[in-house]
Amino acid sequence: MKDCVILVREFLKPAAMKSNRNMFTIAIKSIGFAWQTNRRLLWLLIIFYIFQGSVVYLQFTSFSSIVDEIIKLRQGVSSTRQLVWSSIVLGLSFLVPLITGNIGNHYRMIFRMQQSIQLDLYKIERQGSLDIGTIESSSYQNLLRSAQEWGSSSVLNLQDFFFNSASNFAGMITSIGILWSLNKWLVVFSVVAAAPIYFFYKKYSMEVFRIRYLSVNDHRVINNRISHFEELQKAIDVILLKLQGWLKNEIRDKKTDFNNKIIVAERKKAISYSILSLWYLVFLFAAIALMTREAIAGRIAVGALLLAFTTYTRFYQTVNGYLESISVAEEASRYASRWFELFDMQPKIRSKPDAVRVSFTEPPLIEFDDVSFRYPGEDVDNPYVLQHLSFSIKPGEKVAIVGVNGSGKTTLIKLLCRIYDPTEGNIFINGINLKDVKLEDWQNALGILFQDFPVYNLTIRESIGVGRIDDVNGNGKNKEENIIRAAQYSGADEFIKDYDQLIWKEFAGGIDLSKGQHQRLAVARMFYRNAAVTILDEPTASIDAVTEEKIFNTLEKNMEGKTVILITHRFSTVKNADKIILLEKGTIIEYGSHKELMQLSGKYFELYTMQARRYWDSEAVDNGR
């Protein structure tokens, strides 16, 4: 009962009502993609489908004509010429649809492939235009998971519904015209017999969607459990910890529970459909009785009786098939609407129309003025993560941000990168409010390496080169030299034997790198980017002490004149920074050089001494003291 209430509430939301209920609006949007891709092919396919929907009735009329001609020949009131002509028409009515159907299927396949490419590119374009804050939000992630339930193919399935609608409507209009010409009561009987089908499929579709909707979390768990057998690191744990049986039982139980719910829904569908079949038979017998009486009375020919029967049954089959496709399309539209909601999303962080263009050829002056921040809450207000931060970073300074976990270090960097805007206060770049600077210009001035860095499954050269994908040197000599130099600065050159080597052994001829080696490549990307402002968030967390020392020595020697902002837990690496910012619970509690902070004998002195003592103790053990 509780689940049902949740589902009802979801559908009562205005946005959900607009996007989930209006299937035809969503279908038209999907056709919009088709129109943008290849409008000529779109029109050609519509004509094909209309023709396919109506030509089948030519078979019925020509066959009924043959029956009448045979009767007339036996009565001696007709010639074989008309029979031959009707037979030729009947043959063509079978041959032409086969040929046009094959041609239509061929072009539909081509069109669907074109659409798949167009849709994927548009999806990438729209998702790529969003800001990181929007992507991180729970509303975006929930919307994305819901859309991925069927995948983007749900949009293409709605296009199939559009084409099938053209075919079905052409067939229904043609059949109604034929039935009306024979007897208007046949139209009444056929419409009344078919009317309940819509409500039947509507109820069934809603029932299936309810089951799928309320099982999203279960499917997420199932996919997670399956991933333990497919992802290398998880698979190792499965084998070593003997988790196969437990995971298998989890997958089996949740899948069985879901399948049982679908089976119950299918059982209800079978019972309801049997009742509908009895309703249809009542009106079918009425139609047969009516036309038989007309034939006996001589008001219609025997062929017309045959035509009425085949057209009547064909009409019901067409309506039945079309309404069933509506139920499928309604379900597809519920997921396709999620994609369109994603496509319609606008970034929260964007450049103003009159944003200031700045070319950051030199490092800028960075100023935080009484900055406070809390992450946007979609249901409730979140607590402040940063409070009243005020400090400046001069051009070319090396600044370290230190503090325990949860102190707000990474959040501070996200504000500087304008992933989020401050809740209160302002950030100034060369005296200009960061909100007024063109976002693209500021992003081009930054080189950022977060602790959770991505791993690119490329060649080593490409993995470093993506640090500045729009390198003005192109594929020239300078670019190659810069890539090699960046690898040397990061210590990655020690394990690189071939810069064209593919990363990850899952690729043919690929190699597998350790986490520390991946991190060295990530640091090399930042050296290669050579940005005006370089931001490093725990850049040596997985790197040995020797390589760490080498990287920081390189930072001091080769980043002269560049602004470097370093986030780290290792206080031993920040001694040579020009300024050190110590954060605690989102506030700056100490600010100054290493020497100045040590003289304060405050929190920084305490943390630095604590880490140094551990190092001294371990060194004493290694020396046997």
Question: Is residue 203 within 8 Å of 260, Cβ to Cβ?
Answer: no
307 shares its domain with 411: no
Per-residue pLDDT, averaged over 298-322, amounts to 78
Cα–Cα dist 590/596, whole Å: 10
Distances (CA, A) of 519 to 411, 454, 464, 492, 513: 21, 9, 11, 9, 10
CB distance 389 to 588 below 8 Å:
yes
Answer whether residue 355 shows pLDDT above 80.
yes
Other C-beta atoms closer than 10 Å to the C-beta of 170 total 20
Give the single-character DSSP code of 470.
T
Same domain, residue pair 379 and 326: no
Contacts for 65 with CB less than 8 Å, ≥ 6 apart:
86, 89, 303
E strands along 76-161, which residues?
Answer: none
- Strand ranges (E), 394-519: 398-402, 424-429, 432-433, 446-449
Domain finish residue from 289, 309, 344: 344
Range of the domain at 337: 23-344
Asked if residue 205 lies in contact with residue 331, where contact means CB atoms within 8 angstroms, the answer is yes
Give the pLDDT band (50/70/90) at residue 233.
low
Within-domain flag for 253: yes
Same domain, 224 and 120: yes
Q: Which tokens in the block code for residue 192?
A: 């009344």
Give the torsion through C-alpha atoms of 101, 104, 105, 107, to 10 deg.
160
Residues 405, 278, single domain; the answer is no
Q: For the segment 413-468, what is each residue's pLDDT rounded down to a tens digit?
A: 999 999 899 999 999 999 999 999 999 899 889 988 887 778 887 888 888 988 88
pLDDT of 203 reads: 66
Q: Is residue 298 part of a domain?
A: yes
- 8 Å CB contact between 202 and 327: yes
Q: Are 131 and 347 in contact (CB under 8 A)?
A: yes
Confidence check: pLDDT of 342 > 70: yes
Identify whether the C-beta of residue 535 lies closer than 8 Å to the C-beta of residue 446: yes
- Give the confidence band of 472 by pLDDT, cuts at 50, 70, 90: very low
Tokens of 167: 């075919």
Strand order in the sheet with 587-592: 446-449, 533-537, 563-567, 398-402, 579-584, 587-592
| Cα Rg of the chain (Å, integer) | 35
When pLDDT is averaged across residues 281-298 and rounded to a whole number, the result is 79
Q: What is the pLDDT of residues 2-37, one digit of tens each?
A: 443 333 343 334 433 343 346 677 777 788 878 888
User: How many angstroms separate the CA atoms of 472 and 469, rounded?
Assistant: 9
Q: Is residue 283 located within the same domain as residue 406?
A: no
* Span of 263-267, 425-429, 561-565, 578-582 with lowest mean pLDDT: 263-267
Instruction: Tell me, yes or no, whether 423 and 543 share the same domain.
Output: yes
pLDDT, mean of residues 230-253: 74
Residues 173 and 223 in one domain: yes
Q: Is residue 358 part of a domain?
A: no
**Parallel, antiparallel or unpaired: strands 446-449 and 533-537:** parallel
Q: What percent of the chain has pLDDT over 90?
A: 14
Express each pLDDT in 100-157 by its tens digit.
778 888 888 888 888 888 878 888 888 778 877 778 777 777 777 777 766 667 777 7
Rounded to the nearest 10 degrees, the angle between the axes of helix 302-344 and helix 39-75 is 170
Q: How far apart are the C-alpha atoms of 67 and 158, rounded to whole Å?
A: 41
The C-alpha angle with vertex 137 and arms to 133 and 141, in degrees rounded to 5, equals 125
**Spatial separation of the C-alpha atoms in residues 39 and 29, rounded to whole Å:** 14
- What is the pLDDT at residue 103? 85
CATH number for position 528: 3.40.50.300
Average model confidence (pLDDT) across the chain:
79
Residue 386: the pLDDT is 94
Same domain (yes/no): 320, 183: yes
- Structure-model confidence comparison of residues 380 and 481, the more confident one: 481
Asked, for residue 353, whether it belongs to a domain, the answer is: no
Q: Could you tell me if residue 16 is inside a domain? A: no
Q: Grade residue 207 by pLDDT with cuts at 50, 70 and 90.
A: low
Residue 2 lies in a domain: no
Maximum mean pLDDT: which of 142-156, 168-182, 408-422, 466-480:
408-422
Taking residue 518's Cβ as centre, other Cβ atoms within 10 Å add up to 19
Structure tokens at 45: 């396919």
Residue 371: what residue type? Answer: V
The angle, 0 to 180 degrees and rounded to 10, between the axes of the packed helices 184-214 and 302-344 is: 30
SS3 194: helix
Give the mean model confidence (pLDDT) for residues 314-319.
Answer: 80
Please check whether residues 120 and 191 belong to one and the same domain. yes
Instruction: Please check whether residue 1 lies inside any domain of the structure.
Output: no
Beta strand segments in 483-545, E? 533-537
434: nearest Cα among 533, 349, 532, 529: 349
pTM for the model: 0.65
Least Cα distance to 32 among 166, 162, 129 occurs for 162
Does residue 156 form part of some domain? yes
Residues 284 and 403 in one domain: no
**Domain shared by 286 and 406, yes or no:** no
Q: Does one domain contain both 174 and 252?
A: yes
Number of domains in the chain: 2
170-174, 299-303, 366-370, 541-545: which range is least confident on average? 541-545
Phi, psi of 299, deg, nearest 5: -80, -20
- Three-state secondary structure call for residue 288: helix
- What's residue 279's pLDDT? 81
Q: What is the mean pLDDT of residues 204-223?
A: 65
Mean per-residue pLDDT, 478-486: 86
The pLDDT of residue 151 is 65
Compute the distance between CA of residue 300 and CA of residue 182 in angstroms, rounded to an integer: 8
pLDDT category at 217 given cuts 50, 70, 90 is: low
The whole-number pLDDT of residue 15 equals 38
Select from 344, 378, 410 the last residue of a domain.
344
- The domain that holds 329 is classified in CATH as 1.20.1560.10
Contact by Cβ (8 Å): 442, 617: no
